[in-house]
Amino acid sequence: MDALGTDFAKIGSILSGSLTNSKVRIRGWVHRSRTSGGICFLVVRDSTGVVQCAIKKDAVGESSFISASQAYIESTILVEGVVKQDARAPGGYEISASSVKLVAQGEPFPIAKDQSVEFLLDTRHLWLRSQRLTNIMKARHKIIFYLREFFEKEGFWELAPPIITGAACEGGSTLFEISYFGEKAYLTQSSQLYAEVFTTALENVYVLAPSFRAEPSRTVRHLCEYWHLEPEMAFYDQKMNMRLQERMLEYVCQKMADSHPDLLLAIGRQPEKLKAVRAPFKRMTYEEAVEIAARSGANIKKGQDLGADEEALLTKDEEKPVFVTNFPKEIKAFYMREDPSNPGTVLNADVLAPEAHGEIIGGSERIWEYDELMRRLKENNLNPKDYEWYIDLRRYGPFPHSGFGLGIERLVKWMLNLDHIRDAIPFPRTINRVYP
Ligand code: 4AD
Ligand code: MG
């Protein structure tokens, strides 16, 4: 038996029942192992699941049996045998081995049960093989797939923004500065300003790219590097923007609940929770949100931004996301258009995810007129020189437009009901960790 080639069954097909009583070859890694007398039970995993293999000395020969029973957790192995239905085996099937080959024994795997969080983060490159992280990464893939599918159906174009930029999008305090051949440059905080450029040619666009925030916060929802989905739409006002967000979240939640209930359950998420996410969502103004949060005991005054505690109070009993609109312009970014019918506030909305997960989307109608943009740059002490190209969009064929930014890991954390955002991304970058 050779480890290369395509002549292998996937464990997932065995577990689906389609290979019962057939002879198969599988290829994978030892997940669990137990030997007693002349029989060795190896639970083998591949990318699609785990299956138990019963390896008898009489059936495979002495030397193969010895090497199989000496396999470590995570040793690489090939097994050939007949698939039997067996209620006692995990997943309900067992392979009765006729031949087994240890491809590589390797060294004893360092991760055993009950390791500390820090140890598991130090060995993240190995821990990513765990069933839990494998399932979460599969769900993450599907969630991103359905987001792209939604925008494809809506006729949007996906474009690639630059990651190295010359100016801030979301304010200077969380910028990562880099040396760019002796010039100051930054890792992008948001691709929004470039997405706005793309609307002038392609109208409805999105980018899916990493954003970087030098966040000094050590919370369950902050990363220094996260994946950011940023749609931007020509001729959309803020109401249309919010309706699009609602439909997008409904789409991805319904798709996950309908198409991947087993994956959700394996992660500990009830599919019904996602099934409940149907448009329209509740809308409240910032002013109402502050009153509600203060009444429920939050320590917040008007004019202050909503924090994790306030967002938790606002959403802990909600089944669906909630829009909070019309924030004071002083606490929001320079590019948000002032609300003509509610001066002092902007035409924006944050989407707060239910069950206390908090903000997953920030979006707004953009300032599209030259004079208003110049005024707001000034009020924000930003140098128009740094934004010349962005200002140009208000010189040549300006038009109303809106957009939003969705944090992929925040979305995954909520949809899968994870305790911590770090498990929504393979290699979390946080204030005290860039290894591995
Ligand atoms: O609210 P933010 O800062 O808005 C923007 O960057 C806009 N330019 C987006 C736009 O309109 N195109 O970030 C948008 C979203 C947040 O709602 C949150 O989901 C996520 O990005 N986010 C983070 N996710 C993980 N870790 C962090 N440190 C994050 N900061 C923001
Ligand atoms: Mg925000």
Residue 168 is predicted with a pLDDT of: 87
Residue 171 is predicted with a pLDDT of: 86
Domain extent for 69: 11-104
What interhelical angle do 131-153 and 408-415 show, nearest 10?
A: 120
Residue 217 is predicted with a pLDDT of: 83
What sign does the CA torsion over 70, 76, 79, 83 have? Answer: positive
Per the structure, how many domains does the chain have? Answer: 2
One domain for residues 218 and 70: no
Residue 126 is predicted with a pLDDT of: 98
Domain finish residue from 50, 69, 104: 104
In a domain, 116, yes or no: no
- The reply to whether ligand 1 has any atom less than 6 angstroms from the CB of 362 is yes
One domain for residues 140 and 214: yes
Looking up residue 244, the CATH number of its domain turns out to be: 3.30.930.10
Any bridge partners for residue 359, and if so which? Answer: 352
Identify the segments of the chain with pLDDT beneath 50.
none
Helix (H, G, I), strand (E, B) or coil at 331: helix
Between the alpha carbon of residue 324 and those of residues 87, 160, 375, the distances in Å are 51, 30, 25
E strand or H helix that includes residue 166: none
Non-local CB neighbours of 234 within 8 Å, separated by 6+ positions: 199, 200, 203, 204, 399, 401
Looking up residue 59, the CATH number of its domain turns out to be: 2.40.50.140
In a domain, 28, yes or no: yes
Residue 108 is predicted with a pLDDT of: 97
One domain for residues 78 and 127: no
Q: Whose CA is nearest to atom 21 of ligand 1?
A: 407
One domain for residues 221 and 141: yes
Task: Name which of 188, 198, 200, 118 is nearest 435 in CA terms.
Answer: 118
Q: Which ligand is nearest to the CA of 363?
A: 1
Ligand 1 centre from 330 Cα, in Å? Answer: 18
Q: Whose CA is nearest to atom 1 of ligand 1?
A: 362
Ligand 1 centre from 68 Cα, in Å? Answer: 50
Q: Whose CA is nearest to atom 31 of ligand 1?
A: 407
In a domain, 204, yes or no: yes
In a domain, 264, yes or no: yes
One domain for residues 45 and 163: no
Residue 17 is predicted with a pLDDT of: 97
Residue 45 is predicted with a pLDDT of: 98
In a domain, 300, yes or no: yes
The pTM (predicted TM-score) of the whole model is 0.97
Burial of residue 299, with CB atoms counted within 10 A of its CB: 0-12 exposed, 13-18 middle, 19 or more buried: exposed
Domain finish residue from 104, 134, 160: 104
Mutate which of 228, 336, 366 for ligand 1? The one with the most ligand atoms within 8 Å of its CB, which is 228
Contact assessment for residue 186 and residue 167, using Cβ atoms and an 8 Å cutoff: yes
One domain for residues 181 and 88: no
In a domain, 360, yes or no: yes
Contact assessment for residue 187 and residue 164, using Cβ atoms and an 8 Å cutoff: yes
One domain for residues 82 and 130: no
One domain for residues 303 and 370: yes
Q: Which ligand is nearest to the CA of 169?
A: 1
- The reply to whether ligand 1 has any atom less than 6 angstroms from the CB of 405 is yes
Domain finish residue from 46, 69, 104: 104
Ligand 2 centre from 338 Cα, in Å? Answer: 17
One domain for residues 324 and 417: yes
Burial of residue 13, with CB atoms counted within 10 A of its CB: 0-12 exposed, 13-18 middle, 19 or more buried: middle
Residue 216 is predicted with a pLDDT of: 86
In a domain, 369, yes or no: yes
One domain for residues 277 and 138: yes
Mutate which of 147, 156, 159, 170 for ligand 1? The one with the most ligand atoms within 8 Å of its CB, which is 170
In a domain, 431, yes or no: no
Ligand 2 centre from 39 Cα, in Å? Answer: 58
One domain for residues 320 and 368: yes
The CA distance from 191 to 213, in Å, is 13
Between the alpha carbon of residue 384 and those of residues 162, 172, 379, the distances in Å are 20, 15, 11
- The reply to whether ligand 1 has any atom less than 6 angstroms from the CB of 161 is no
Ligand 2 centre from 355 Cα, in Å? Answer: 18
- The reply to whether ligand 1 has any atom less than 6 angstroms from the CB of 213 is yes
- The reply to whether ligand 1 has any atom less than 6 angstroms from the CB of 81 is no
One domain for residues 126 and 80: no
The CA distance from 120 to 393, in Å, is 48
Determine how β-strand 93-104 pairs with β-strand 225-234: unpaired
